[in-house]
Structure 1
């Protein structure tokens, strides 16, 4: 079955700004029902030093969020 039967993906979009804020703004604009992001699965120390868009979204987004991680 083609994937477009289940969801509509927006393409060709380019925005600048703080990633988690921009993602939330665009999701609200397009009336997204779900935000899906990936995570490297870094630990607390790496996240504290480098930051984490997924972590910021978890605390900022009012839209349901799915965070996918890679298998180890």
Structure 2
């Protein structure tokens, strides 16, 4: 089963949090994101080649469209 999770990500050198969606597949042995996980995000208007950040908050009050996290970065 695919479950969509929303999280807030902080990028290196930034004080702002950005909301992203993350789809994880329980049938594939994936797990939900946790605070402290490093993630890769897709390109956007600030980071033309994508980038990485750290999950700081689980959930989000933002209700607009969200980009999806590309993947969790292994430790």
Give the TM-score normalised by structure 1: 0.24
Q: Report which of the two structures shows the higher radius of gyration computed on alpha carbons.
A: 1
Between structures 1 and 2, the one with greater strand share: 2
Between structures 1 and 2, the one with greater helix share: 1
